Amino acid sequence: MKLLFLFIVLFSFSSSKELPILRVFNFNDYIDNSILVNFAKENKIKIRYEIYENNDELREKIKNDTEGFDLACPSSNFISILAENNLISEINASKLNNFKNINPIILKKVNDNTKNYFIPYFWGTIGIIYDKTKVKPINSWNDLWREDLKDSLLFGSDYRDMFGLVLKSLGYSPNSQNEEEISKTYEKLLLLIPNIKAISSDTVSKYFLRNNFVAGIVFNGDAKIISDSQNKYVYSYPKEGVLGWVDSFVILKNGKNPELAYKFLDYILEPKNGLKIANTIGYATANVEAYKLQDKITKKNAIIYPENSILLKNELLHSVKNSDALYKKYWDLFLKQYKASKGN
């Protein structure tokens, strides 16, 4: 289990005094650690901060939580699933002085009958990064099946994201709930196994660079870090259209410190704090006031903030709660076949 646990000792306090604890689930490398430290100091608390690799892992962590975690940061397509399973609480926006800083367009775009359950955090795209010195340009999702990419791809571990891109390659919606389309997607996914070198969504940029992948399916923030490290890497927006995502904070139903959760949400919505987090992790912020403070170079970076022509072909992943079990079934079958092919 990967775990970051912050414990700020305040010397003005008696060592025997029990400090309140804010418990947070989040994706790895998805905050500026100084934000956690400063919030803990200012509020005289401890922070328990536990990370996960994908939304499915988060769902299991929430279901099995016995400590009373207060906050989590799922992707938009998982929020309604969490709400339907009574795992998250409605958010009272009147308790957030900085709620007004959230981009209203993002709020509207994510609204999937869950508008009262989430606070948008970051948004972006899922595309393809590749080494232009080793392979010819990759301009389509279908290019991933090329023979010159054998045993060279880094594939993601989130089943909705990965099924989404294969659905796009077949001309279907990444939010399809058609069983025949999902079945065909599974069959095509099996054909990609020879080209997959590894499956992981954990510390993607570091993992990609350390293992010298030729190409990979990555989030745009990871693509920025990879391309910034060496200019031989290119982030491609496939011609069929990229996948879009929005990650948002939610308040967990069984959290022990909901008032601390509100305080934390308000804290990260402060423009200067939102700016610090955005500059650290390299994604597009959903905080309009933080965006205004960003430098011109960042605002013009097409990996972070794509041009409108790209966004027009972008399709946001939504909840497919009626077919989620079907996706999960086929993903598990795919993983079984993948592991068998690799001798695992």
b/e 3-25 (16+ beta carbons within 10 angstroms → b)? eeebebeeeeeeeeeebebbbbb
State residue 150's pLDDT score.
Answer: 97
pLDDT exceeds cutoff 60 at 22 = yes
Please name the residue ranges forming H helices in 247-287.
258-268, 271-281
The helix/strand/coil state of 79 is helix
Average pLDDT over residues 67-73: 97
Q: 68 pLDDT band (50/70/90 cuts)? A: very high
What pLDDT digit, counting tens, does each position of 254-264 carry?
999 999 999 99
* Weakest mean pLDDT among 25-39, 163-177, 180-194, 304-318: 304-318
Average pLDDT over residues 93-106: 95
Where do the domains of the chain lie, and which CATH numbers do they carry? 3-123+246-305 (3.40.190.10), 124-243+312-341 (3.40.190.10)
pLDDT exceeds cutoff 60 at 272 = yes
**For the chain, percent of residues with pLDDT exceeding 90:** 80
Average pLDDT over residues 74-79: 91
Q: Are residues 216 and 204 in contact, defined by beta-carbon separation less than 8 angstroms?
A: yes
Burial of 114 (0-12, 13-18, 19+ CB in 10 A): buried
Half-sphere exposure of 244 (CA within 13 A, CB side): 18
Q: 16 pLDDT band (50/70/90 cuts)? A: very low
State residue 17's pLDDT score.
Answer: 64
What pLDDT digit, counting tens, does each position of 173-189 carry?
999 999 999 999 999 99
Average pLDDT over residues 161-182: 96
